[in-house]
Structure 1
Amino acid sequence: MRRLQQLKNVRHTLTGALTAVLSAALLCLAVLGTGINAKAAQLATPLEGVDISSYNGNIDFATLRASGISFVMVRVGNTKYGIDSKAVENINAANAAGLRVGAYCYTYAKSAAEAAADAELTLSVINGLPVSFPVAIDIEDKSQQNLPTETQQAIVNTFCAIIQNAGYTPIVYTNKNWFEQKLGAVSWDAWVAQYNPTCTYSGAYTMWQNGIASSLPGAPGQIDHDYVFSDYFNQIVENGTSSVDGATYVNWRKTSGTGFDGTNVTKLSWEQDLLNSIGATTTTTPATTTTTTTTTTSNAEQKKKQLKEAKDDLANKQAYRDACQLQLTLYQQQYDAYYGLFEQLAATPNCDPATLQTAADSVHMKQQEIVDATNNLQTAQADVDAAQAKVDSLSK
């Protein structure tokens, strides 16, 4: 069994391998049609929304909704500069006013591993909050403009895969020129920024940021203005079955249903996804099979059957052990990302104490998860050793 330090040393290799698999699978999914996404259920009339951050100050969301705004995309932050100081407040307040609420991460990631850290930070912020609209990765920073297309695709695919595996609907935001000249077409929903009377992006898209509004009731100063074309309002439901995609949702998060590419998938916990990805069964220990010996069953046949059952049991326990190993590796990676964020915040002059405490709490949470995952791995390894001993005994 590997020690934590060994896991830390191999985490980048593991992340790279997982990212390569995700990217290869996701890049082969073609975006059907051009213009407004033909695959998604469409609204009869596009609805208006805004996207906001702490820079927009205090917003009267009830007044904003009364003015005709239907949804809000809230910035959550990133691992470079930390959590947006008004993210949680904005999400809760917008939801209380009856608005649909999405989230976005303005990423500075230059690799898939950094994108994964941003995705995990995003999930840590929105977990338990009423996020009822898509969750976006915003890729447009000047530090990323010279990255190769394949690197940008890996960044986007990694972030969106993690968001989707957590039950949310991912979407990719950038401007029209960036989509066309740097990132290329994506197989996720697209949110295109183009300040123009019409959106002239030829690829598929479900949302459009069309400009900046300077006089919206309830919003002080200027605020980004958007349109949504896809019926996320009926697709993403609080609890129950979606009338649009037939998926099951619990607290706004998908737990089963159809993936964006039309493939029938079942979304359980991400731990179960890991088990499924390495071929483990949905139970960690197979049910005991009772063998009834008849007078016609020879001792040799009975032993052969017992050996087969023991080998099946061993394979199942090994698969679960491997899943525990991978889970521990991922927790260690998340810990490093959270600790790095905490160090950045601690070194920032006049850092908001509440923000620093949130970061510290995240570090402590990951520490405990690492301890629990280590114990699970030790138990799983002991079960493998016992199962192996039984196979060895029956093989004699």
Structure 2
Amino acid sequence: MFVSIAYLTVNLFLYYNKSIKNNGVPLYYDFKPNTIKYTFDPDIVNDDISEQFLSYGISYGVDVSEWQGNIDWQKVRATGISFAIIRCGFRQTHGSEVKEDANFKENIEGAIAAGLKVGVYFFGTAKNEAEAIEEAEFTVNLIKDYNLTYPVAYDTESFNTGRLEGVSYSTITDNVLTFTETVASYGYETMVYSYHNALTYILEMGKLEGKLIWLAHFTDKTNYKGNYNIWQYTSTGKVDGIKTNVDLNLSYFTYVDNEDDIVPNPNYVYAPEVAMAPVEDRVRTKRNSTIRTSPTTSIPNKLGTIPRGKVLYRKELGENFSLVEYEGKSVYVANDDIETYTP
């Protein structure tokens, strides 16, 4: 659990490559002792290092599982790595058993002892709400005795394969939401992990608005157009203390004790402002139509689909979208997908 009130400082929608520096901090792929000494004070062991995070805007971290083998966390810490997100468990893509990661306890205890900020992730393949709750309860049971200082993430990256073959994207998104909300009910901050195309085209991101997002995109320059809070930018990083390749991450937030310490972020991605005129009429969908949380297709904002032939009350009309009422919610639908309805 978090020891202090968690406020987030977030830098979103930023581009990086090997030659670009953010506040003097370059994007590294190879961490050796004291590689990034300016973002990590070796004299600080278990104290809050939020001030340094806020000063430099980003922090570096790793995510690990049993596949990394035995890790020397003191050496990892000495490189300047500030946080670790550790796999606590998983459900296989074939089969239904939920399992603990073989190195979870060793990794979380070692990382905490070394003074790193620590979060966890669960690799999930829930087919329905009941399985999502099972995965969440399993995760909470594993982490309840540890003091987490980074979020609990749900790793969803299996679609139309294995046990998830034939499970709709809408259902998978709902299961992600169920997992995160169940874990959050125990007082933990939660986060959603997936890869660029899944976050852009597969998951219904409108349902996940307000969630912390952990983007996987192995590139020097991400073109993901949505908001994200951690960027996993390579799977072939080298870190002293870890014998294998390891995922490297940039975090654009940290937890602070005082809201006044938050550094304003000028790069947050807001939905574009679109002129909408008030109307009062009824429309009918001409085809199965995507509904969105904002009147644009420039950011991931899908909420789901309205079936063909549905009659809706329209409240606002814009050049390309209308604001309509659907199942008790105000949502946007493309004007090309609807027609005026007269009983």
Using the size of structure 1 for normalisation, the TM-score is 0.48
Q: Within 5 A, what are the aligned runs for 1:38-57?
A: 43=54, 44-57=56-69
The yes-or-no answer on 1:126 pairing with 2:143 is: yes
The yes-or-no answer on 1:217 pairing with 2:240 is: yes
Q: Residue type of the partner of 2:67? A: Y
Note if contact 2:86-2:119 (Cα within 8 Å) is conserved in structure 1.
yes
Uncovered stretches (5+) of structure 1, i.e. residues with no partner: 1-31, 37-41, 235-241, 247-396
Please give the per-residue CA displacement for 1:39-69, whole angstroms capped at 9, x wherever unaligned: xxx8442111000011100111111111111
**Following the alignment from structure 2 to structure 1, what is the Cα–Cα distance between the partners of residues 98 and 185?**
25
> What's the counterpart of residue 69 of structure 1?
81
Note if contact 2:60-2:250 (Cα within 8 Å) is conserved in structure 1.
yes
The yes-or-no answer on 1:201 pairing with 2:179 is: no
Uncovered stretches (5+) of structure 2, i.e. residues with no partner: 1-9, 15-52, 92-96, 262-343
Please give the per-residue CA displacement for 1:204-258, whole angstroms capped at 9, x wherever unaligned: 11001000234311111111111100123x2xxxxxxx32499xxxxxxxxxxxx
Q: Residue type of the partner of 2:186? A: A
Once the 2 structures are TM-superposed, how far is the Cα of residue 110 of structure 1 from its aligned partner? 1.4
Once the 2 structures are TM-superposed, how far is the Cα of residue 199 of structure 1 from its aligned partner? 2.3
Note if contact 2:237-2:245 (Cα within 8 Å) is conserved in structure 1.
yes
Note if contact 1:33-1:203 (Cα within 8 Å) is conserved in structure 2.
no
**Following the alignment from structure 1 to structure 2, what is the Cα–Cα distance between the partners of residues 101 and 133?**
5
Distance 1:225 1:167, change over 3 A: same
Q: Residue type of the partner of 2:80? A: G
> What's the counterpart of residue 137 of structure 1?
154
Structure showing the higher strand proportion among its residues: 2
**Following the alignment from structure 1 to structure 2, what is the Cα–Cα distance between the partners of residues 138 and 114?**
14
* Structure label with greater radius of gyration: 1
The secondary structure found in structure 1 opposite 2:145 is coil
Please give the per-residue CA displacement for 1:164-217, whole angstroms capped at 9, x wherever unaligned: 111111000000101111113222110000001022211111001000234311
Note if contact 2:11-2:252 (Cα within 8 Å) is conserved in structure 1.
no
> What's the counterpart of residue 180 of structure 1?
200
Q: Residue type of the partner of 2:200? A: E
| Number of residue pairs aligned between Structure 1 and Structure 2 | 203
13, 18, 27: which one pairs with 1:35? 13
Greater shift in the superposed pair: 143-152 or 207-216: 143-152
Using the size of structure 2 for normalisation, the TM-score is 0.55
Once the 2 structures are TM-superposed, how far is the Cα of residue 156 of structure 1 from its aligned partner? 1.0
Structure showing the higher helix proportion among its residues: 1
Structure 1 stretches of at least 4 aligned residues deviating more than 3 Å after TM superposition: 142-147
Note if contact 1:137-1:173 (Cα within 8 Å) is conserved in structure 2.
yes
Note if contact 1:61-1:94 (Cα within 8 Å) is conserved in structure 2.
yes
> What's the counterpart of residue 187 of structure 2?
167
What RMSD over aligned residues (CA atoms) do the two structures have, in Å? 2.4
166, 169, 178: which one pairs with 1:149? 169
